[in-house]
Amino acid sequence: MDKPPPRPEKRPPEPPPPPWASDPDGLLKSRPGSVRLALTGGVASGKSTVAELFRAFGAEVIDFDLLAREALAPGGECLPAAAALFGPRSVLKDGTLDRAWVARRIFKDDKLREALEAEVHPYTWRRMLSELSSLREAPVIVVDVPLLFEARLNTLFRPTVLCFASAATQLRRLRERNPDLSGREAKRVIRSQLPPAEKLRLADCVVSNDGPLRETIRQAKALWDRLSSPDALTGGCRGGGGPGPLP
């Protein structure tokens, strides 16, 4: 099993979040007995598996991908802007966005991807805050943010948890679930995201997901026990370094 490379002791300087990302009511602030963490990971890293494990352990989960799909669904707030950006070819006869066609376009064109994200990300952020407000009494909330570091949102969350998988594992899994992707296209998708080494330097905690499912479950449960303990915010997984990969 590939292990994440060791991380440096000091974090690199972190850029500020985008202007639309704010938390005026302190909904993201973790406190004793009220943990709000961000879960992230590269494409095909197994992040959804870890999110479901946290849900099974008792966490409430807010999924940015689901909110983005809502934004681009028929009648969604961001669908008109997406259709204008990509043209009539991007919308199918039933009024839904041709997500596969759009995905191929944005992975070949960074400017198109950034333009779409500029429409969708502020919407998902507002919806996330709304869901956080409705769940404010929950002891642990996991916010599943695929592009946490790429979108410069990580400084707004503590702790941050990275689901790590090696590039070889990502490539294999991505092609297994998307058999129409060529090897070259799959590599382009992976390279469109921040390199794993950069994410490792920024994350508070890491769950390695290269091996068998039972090992991922063990690591996720160990992290859950740490986060749900009374001293969760005074040691272990917290800002300023964090424990790195779990033993």
183 band by pLDDT with thresholds 50, 70 and 90:
confident
pLDDT value for 159 = 93
pTM score, two decimals?
Answer: 0.86
Determine the Cα–Cα distance for residues 193 and 149; give it in Å rounded to an integer.
9
121 and 172 within one domain: no
Residue 192 lies in a domain: yes
Considering the chain, what percentage of its residues have pLDDT values greater than 70? Answer: 87
Whole-number mean pLDDT of the chain?
87
pLDDT value for 48 = 94
Residue 17 lies in a domain: no
More reliable by pLDDT, 101 or 5? 101
- Each residue of 66-93: pLDDT tens digit? 999 999 999 999 999 999 999 999 999 9
Indicate the number of domains in the chain: 2
Domain around 121:
67-137
113 and 39 within one domain: no
Q: Which of 110, 137, 164 is the last residue of a domain?
A: 137
At residue 10, does pLDDT exceed 70? no
| Domain at 230, CATH number | 3.40.50.300
147 and 231 within one domain: yes
Q: Which of 105, 137, 169 is the last residue of a domain?
A: 137
241 and 172 within one domain: yes
> What value does the mean pLDDT take over residues 129-148?
96
**Residues 173, 217 contacting (CB under 8 angstroms):** no
Q: Which of 117, 137, 157 is the last residue of a domain?
A: 137
Determine the Cα–Cα distance for residues 139 and 145; give it in Å rounded to an integer.
19
151 and 127 within one domain: no
178 and 86 within one domain: no
235 and 153 within one domain: yes
